[in-house]
Chains A and B, each alone.
Chain A
Amino acid sequence: DVKVTQSSRYLVKRTGEKVFLECVQDMDHENMFWYRQDPGLGLRLIYFSYDVKMKEKGDIPEGYSVSREKKERFSLILESASTNQTSMYLCASTFEGAVDEQYFGPGTRLTVT
């Protein structure tokens, strides 16, 4: 079974802190994605990556950056956390092009106070 894991299930940070959310997949998937999920808005794509050291902006990249130094790991970075970044963050991965189903991690619920 494909397994996508995220470093934390719950995280509480203060405004202005630097936050790292890590995602690891064990199926040698080329593509990895970071979404945030907010009530009534569904999932919105923040960043995605099709290969190591490669990244593409999604729909809402502002305030976020990413890092993909190894194929299995995709990190989401909040340089200076703000309260409007309180959300559920979901990581996903797929093979090759994003044609196939996405495999999701369990999510990280981040609260910024």
Chain B
Amino acid sequence: SQQGEEDPQALSIQEGENATMNCSYKTSINNLQWYRQNSGRGLVHLILIRSNEREKHSGRLRVTLDTSKKSSSLLITASRAADTASYFCATLDNYGQNFVFGPGTRLSVLP
């Protein structure tokens, strides 16, 4: 069964606006990671947040983690057309062995 579930499945915004994507998961985790995938390409790691962290920043990215709700959000501020991609959350279980990816959110940033 799917561990990470991103929400929404697709998001379309104007350049300069903020984009927020959410991820929910079912079991206890060691960490949660966000990846970006440009069309037809491999995944690129964006940011990792550990289970004992609540918020993390990296450039225009802000990730929050709420382990009580088993959810995370990825905020991209001041979006650019180049941010157009699919975004995936991946959770690492407490055994530290398996990543489980969600189906992804497809973000379109319109110029």
Contact = CB atoms under 8 A, between A and B. Distances in A.
Q: In this complex, which of B42, B44, B90 has the most chain A Cβ atoms within 10 angstroms of its Cβ?
A: B42
7 shortest interchain CB distances as A-B pairs:
A104-B42, A101-B45, A43-B101, A42-B103, A42-B101, A104-B43, A106-B42
A41 B9 CA distance: 11
B48 A101 contact: yes
Given A102-B45, A106-B42, 9 more contacts: A40-B103, A41-B2, A42-B101, A43-B88, A43-B90, A99-B92, A102-B99, A104-B42, A107-B40
Given A42-B101, A104-B44, A97 B88 contact: no
A41 B103 contact: yes
Interface in B36-78: 40-45, 48
A105 B42 contact: yes
Contacts of B42: 4, 90, 104-107
A85 to B, nearest CB: 18
Interface string A91-105: 010000111111111
A56 B91 CA distance: 19
Nearest to B47: A101
Contacts of A100: 48
- Per DSSP, are chain A's interface residues mostly helix, strand or loop, or mixed? strand
Interface of A: 4, 33, 35, 40-45, 48, 56, 58, 88, 90, 92, 97-107, 109
A43 B43 CA distance: 10
Contacts, number: 61
B31 interface: yes
A75 B96 CA distance: 23
A44 to B, nearest CB: 8
Interface in B8-47: 9, 30-31, 33, 35, 40-45
A42 B88 contact: yes
Contacts of B45: 101-103
Contacts of B104: 42
A35 B100 CA distance: 10
